[in-house]
Amino acid sequence: MATGRRAIVWNASADGFDLEVTSRATALACTSPPMTFGLPALAAGRALKDESMIALQVARRDLLEMSRDGRLRWAVGVLLLLLAVSVCVGWTRSTQAAALRRAATDVQHEAWLEKGAMHPHMAAHYGMFLFKPVPPLAAVDRGIDDYVGSFVFLEAHKQNLFAGRPAADAPPGARFGELTAAAALQVLVPLVILLLTFSTFAGEREQGTLRQTLATGVRGWELVLGKTVAVALLLACVLLPAALLGAGLALVDASEVREEVGRAVALALVYLAYFAIWAVAGLWVSARAGTSRQALAGLLAFWFATCLLAPRLGADLAGFVHPAPLATAFDAAIEEDFAQMIPFPRRVEAVTKRLVSEYGVAGPEALPVSPIGFALSEGEAESSHIYRRHLDALFDTYERQEQVGRLVGLLAPALALQHVSNALSGTDLAHHRRFAAAAEAYRLDLVQPLNRAIAVNDEIAQRPGDETFYAGYLRGRDLWAELPRFEYVRPPLAWAASYTWTSTATLLLWLTAATAGLLASVRRLHV
């Protein structure tokens, strides 16, 4: 019966239950009360021989049932509201922060030029603040950016850590989760998907309609396709307006967005894959569970474990396997290495000796260059090397921790998604590290020319060997303006994709496994 094109089913009609012969599509349409609202006519007429119409009928029926459930209407409505609010807030915040940092960078450069006459080494101590640019997609996912600081002070002898963490000013509750677009997409959308899917099979089984549906001869994949389409359509009602809102806001400043279109499309595809995982997993659990209560409890436990527990426990595990140093220990280790450096007077002495020999002059008093400038330059290179070694080790530890997180992502798709989402938004550790490296390179571009300006200059050449030169040598705007201005180019999409393929593959693996599991379950569906 189930294999033929026609099936014998119980049809609810105004006259009561009549036995009749009809097409599978029509029969399916009649298996539950909602079908009395005119759906069958379409299927019965034109799509009698169309297999895909059966899936569509399933979708239509499920959609109707879901849309009639007041709890789901509320859930979807609230989600839409939260997404809209978070998208608007995210966009406002990130565009404001981006504009502020751009303006602050200009102000800093102006201050650098206008600081007046001073000794070049004092200028190096005067330093420069660099502000980390805000990538446009931070409106969707701020990633770690709130926790790594928004600016860094560049100065002589020292590679500072980034300061001004926006999270430090956020209310304490923010540590328990902020209502960002990313949080809504990563945590709340899956929750609504669970509510949409947990009773799709299990609920029908409890009501007895699953038996009737299967009696129509509908195939497993058709049932799955239909239910998936229903969930997808309902989700689209939430996601499409949010996406359109986001796109509309992004177009307000199209110049920034043009370069990010590739990243935005990739981000949308990854999120779609993530939602698909939850939808398929929800259907799978619903198909396997004995009751809808079991399905709901199981799915909620999975949601809690993967969306709320796994990130924390994963980070704990990562910290346990690859511990980051305590702040005080990190500081002390750098200081210890600094203590091993040649003391400055001895460095000046050694440099003087070398220069005397190189220039072939009788003594230091005849040198046409300043040994102090050379010594400062050498010291800067050495101290920069010390910092780079320690900071590289620190960032390597962070990256190893991220790798552990990616492994945990094999068990929790939310973690894999966070990794890809942060990377595509340009707000992950790798992007921060790249910017920090550029900032350090610029620090040397700033400080070393100043040291060279001390080492070799017209004034000392006119008064060879004058040791008081160091205390009284002044330079002005001409030198400050010679130094390059910091320019930073965001890495392209390919760069971010190059190190996120494992997490992307993890998501695809989850999707494949869940789909295979669902199809297998549906093939042996118990009623």
Partner 1 sequence: MSEGSGTLGTVLRHEWRLLRADRAVVVVLVLFIALAAYALGTGERRASAHRSALERLAEASRLTVAELRQQAMDAERRPGAPSDGPPEYGPRDPEFVLAATRQRNVVLPPSPHEGLAVGRTDLYPDVYSVMTLEIGINPYPQALPSKGAGPIFGRAIENVTSPRKLLVGHFDLLFLMVYGYPLLIIALTCNLLATEREEGTLALVLAQPIRLGTLVAAKIALRGALLVGLALLCPAIGIAASTGFAAPGDGTRLLLWTAAVVLYGAFWLALAAWINASGRSSAHNVMVLATLWIVLVVVLPSALTLAATELHPVPPRIELVEAARRARNEARVTANEEALRRRFLERHRDRIHDQASMYAAMTTIVEPAPAGNPLLDDFFARHPKLAGDRRFTQMSLFYVLLAAQEEAVERRTEAVRDRIADGLASRRAFLDRWAWLAPASLAQRVLSDAAGTGEARYRRFFEQAAVYQAEQRAFFWPRVFHAATLSAADYDRLPTFEYVEEPAGWVVRRSLAALAALAAFAAFGTSGAVVAFRRFGVV
Torsion, CA 134, CA 138, CA 144, CA 145, rounded to 10: 20
| Binder of partner 1 out of 1, 163, 341, 481 (CB under 8 A) | 163
What part of residues 3-62 is at the interface with partner 1 (CB under 8 A)? Answer: none
CB 57 → partner 1: shortest distance, Å?
28
| Binder of partner 1 out of 50, 253, 331, 445 (CB under 8 A) | 331
Q: Which is nearer to partner 1, 191 or 511 (CB)?
A: 191
Dist CA 65 CA 196 (whole Å): 10
**C-beta separation of 197 from 282 below 8 A:** yes
Beta partners for 12?
A: 17
What is 228-271 written as a DSSP string? HHHHHHHHHHHHHHHHHHHHHHHGGGHHHHHTTHHHHHHHHHHH
Q: Which is nearer to partner 1, 81 or 516 (CB)?
A: 81
Q: Which is nearer to partner 1, 192 or 218 (CB)?
A: 192
Dihedral of CA 228/234/238/240: which sign? Answer: positive
- Applying CB under 8 A, which part among 6-14, 40-48, 103-111, 498-506 lies near partner 1? 103-111
Per-position x/- string for 462-491, each x denoting binding to partner 1 as judged by CB under 8 A, each - no binding: -----xx--xx-x-----------------
What part of residues 182-221 is at the interface with partner 1 (CB under 8 A)? Answer: 183, 187-188, 191
**C-beta separation of 444 from 157 below 8 A:** no
- Applying CB under 8 A, which part among 22-30, 57-65, 143-151, 278-286 lies near partner 1? 143-151
* Segments in 310-361 forming alpha helices (H): 310-321, 327-339, 344-359
Dist CA 63 CA 56 (whole Å): 10
- Applying CB under 8 A, which part among 43-51, 55-63, 111-119, 254-262 lies near partner 1? 111-119
Q: Which is nearer to partner 1, 220 or 364 (CB)?
A: 364
Q: How far is CA 135 from CA 102, 243, 256, 479, in A?
A: 12, 18, 9, 32
Q: Which is nearer to partner 1, 240 or 474 (CB)?
A: 474
What part of residues 426-455 is at the interface with partner 1 (CB under 8 A)? Answer: 429, 432
- Applying CB under 8 A, which part among 118-126, 209-217, 435-443, 511-519 lies near partner 1? 118-126
What part of residues 240-299 is at the interface with partner 1 (CB under 8 A)? Answer: 291-293, 296-297
Number of chain positions touching partner 1 (CB under 8 A): 95
| Binder of partner 1 out of 80, 167, 479, 508 (CB under 8 A) | 167
CB 14 → partner 1: shortest distance, Å?
32
Dist CA 9 CA 215 (whole Å): 7
Reduce the DSSP state of residue 370 to 3 states and report it: coil
- Applying CB under 8 A, which part among 108-116, 349-357, 489-497, 503-511 lies near partner 1? 108-116
- Applying CB under 8 A, which part among 3-11, 24-32, 150-158, 274-282 lies near partner 1? 150-158
What part of residues 341-400 is at the interface with partner 1 (CB under 8 A)? Answer: 394, 397-398
Beta partners for 18?
A: 11
| Binder of partner 1 out of 241, 325, 464, 491 (CB under 8 A) | 325
| Binder of partner 1 out of 16, 38, 70, 173 (CB under 8 A) | 173
| Binder of partner 1 out of 151, 387, 480, 510 (CB under 8 A) | 151
What part of residues 389-428 is at the interface with partner 1 (CB under 8 A)? Answer: 394, 397-398, 401-402, 405
Query: Strand 158-159 and strand 16-23: pairing?
Result: unpaired
Residue 464: enclosing H or E segment and its boundaries?
A: none
- Applying CB under 8 A, which part among 58-66, 141-149, 280-288, 492-500 lies near partner 1? 141-149
The 3 state secondary structure assigned to 159-208 is ECCCECCHHHHCCHHHHHCCCCHHHHHHHHHHHHHHHHHCCCCHHHHHHC
| Binder of partner 1 out of 10, 44, 84, 166 (CB under 8 A) | 166
Reduce the DSSP state of residue 475 to 3 states and report it: strand
Report the amino acid identity of residue 521.
Answer: S
Using only the alpha carbons of the chain, give its radius of gyration: 33
Dist CA 154 CA 158 (whole Å): 8
